[in-house]
Chain A
């Protein structure tokens, strides 16, 4: 069992996205950065889809009531484990052997927006709703017998910077926009506003103009993570994993799957540009990313005693 002592800013149990309930309006959910979550799970020899904790901007404080293996996948944070009277460093991107009673101390995430905490055997999740965790929440952990201490010497994707380029495929409603509108979208820089969440990133910049006769509204239709809607005010929203299953605004473009993790790791204030690619290029980019995941998790050299 693990028990939350300090919930941080937003800590959620996340598991692979579900698709079978979309027709009933249930969002696919899942980790905002699926690849980093997979790496956290692999560090404790869990299946890729095991439930892990997603922490935003701040790692939560929690106590492990049982010995297990744990790992935090993230870009940068100084994390400590309280064991008795000692504070032991908890390195990121490495399996850590946990003793019953060990306490993970809350810590700010210094680069990227989100980090993932995986525990060997996976974290229990009741039903399909990712309920927000609060102080006192107790989560069961599954049985497992990992043997190895693993680490990731170098993450396969660099920490996001202030400026990012997101590759996109032309949107299903591209024809709803004027030629100038499309030029504006691809030529300008948009800033990530604080009114963003796991549902979507609200961007602000030069307004995208519509073709005469279009006002940004459509008959509602299916919506997916990565979709970039332009609202009637001309501002883009990039949808993330908790987006509703349907939406009624025009979609100018769709972020490619390989770049959704990058979007999910940007912070308010970041500046984003969009670049158009083909579906074939997007699939090549995704394959390259997936191929990089396997070799990056390695057996860790034993630390000196």
Chain B
């Protein structure tokens, strides 16, 4: 057990349970275990929760449960945390570089590596999904090799295509939908990260590994994905 968590009012209809102010799998796992426990109990008036890196935001309806009651409930939950199950391992195929990864060259150059080596540094690791946020299905993955860590682009792109795999600092992530974005784009996956019916491909707590593929395989998987609909 790490440092004790703090409970803070997040406006008049939510409270935040706040753990240590750093990014670590251990802290994130406590957040996710607590989110599980809260979702399993959901007392009257608790309407939702947002697990993030080191915080759990629990929303409530103040007309149905008081601030005092919600704090009491959460303190009880904090005592009863369980060890979370090891997350699912999900493999994500990616075409690295070229038109699908326009920033791979710059990322490699900054690291003093070839494009191939930079891509290898990316797909040789297994990542932990800390949270899904920013847009439906967008995973925040931690565990990037510091050698290819890279700050956000100084000018964000007006359009990053769906499936783009990006790097920002020590994080890597995947854009489920086309959107403006400032992450360095090093490749693209043909998988659909978010579907209106099947929802998010990934959940917080999952593990992700990237598998390099060529353009032909990309097209094949894109077709197969379209048939699944």
Contacts and interface: CB of A to CB of B under 8 A. Distances in A.
Interface of A: 19-26, 28, 127-129, 169, 172, 219-224, 226-227, 244-246, 254-257, 279-280, 282-283, 286-287, 290
Given A128-B196, A279-B9, A24 B203 contact: yes
Contact of B67 (A219, A223, A245, A283): A283
Contacts of A279: 9, 12, 67
A172 B16 contact: yes
A256 B12 contact: yes
Interface string B66-82: 11000000000000000
Interface stretch (B42-50, B98-106, B111-119, B220-228): B42-50
Where chain A touches its partner, the secondary structure class is: mixed
B63 interface: yes
A256 B67 CA distance: 14
Nearest to B62: A283
Contacts of A219: 21-23, 52-54
Contacts of A224: 10-11, 13-14, 57, 59
B10 A220 contact: no
Contact of B12 (A21, A22, A28, A286): A286
A244 B54 contact: no
What bracket does the count of chain B residues touching chain A fall in?
35 or more
Given A287-B63, A290-B63, A25 B135 contact: yes
B11 to A, nearest CB: 3
Interface of B: 8-14, 16, 18, 21-23, 35, 47-57, 59, 62-63, 66-67, 131-138, 140, 194, 196-197, 199-200, 203-204
21 contacts: A22-B48, A23-B49, A24-B199, A25-B133, A25-B194, A128-B196, A169-B12, A172-B8, A172-B9, A172-B10, A220-B131, A220-B133, A220-B134, A222-B51, A222-B52, A224-B10, A226-B13, A227-B11, A244-B134, A254-B11, A279-B12
B196 to A, nearest CB: 5
Q: Which of B16, B23, B67, B136 has the most CB of A within 10 A?
A: B136
B39 to A, nearest CB: 8
Given A24-B199, A25-B138, A257 B133 contact: no
Q: Which of B48, B49, B135, B140 has the most CB of A within 10 A?
A: B48
A246 B12 contact: no
B200 A25 contact: yes
A256 B13 CA distance: 8
The 9 closest A-B pairs by CB, nearest first: A19-B48, A222-B57, A254-B11, A246-B133, A222-B50, A282-B12, A24-B200, A221-B55, A221-B52
B132 A221 contact: no
A282 B134 CA distance: 28
A280 B53 CA distance: 29
B137 A129 contact: no
Given A25-B134, A245-B134, A279-B9, 11 more contacts: A19-B48, A21-B136, A25-B136, A25-B138, A28-B48, A219-B21, A220-B140, A246-B52, A246-B131, A255-B11, A290-B63
A283 B203 CA distance: 34
A222 B16 contact: yes
Q: Which of B8, B52, B138 has the most CB of A within 10 A?
A: B52
A100 B224 CA distance: 45
A23 B132 contact: yes
Nearest to B46: A19
A290 B35 CA distance: 30
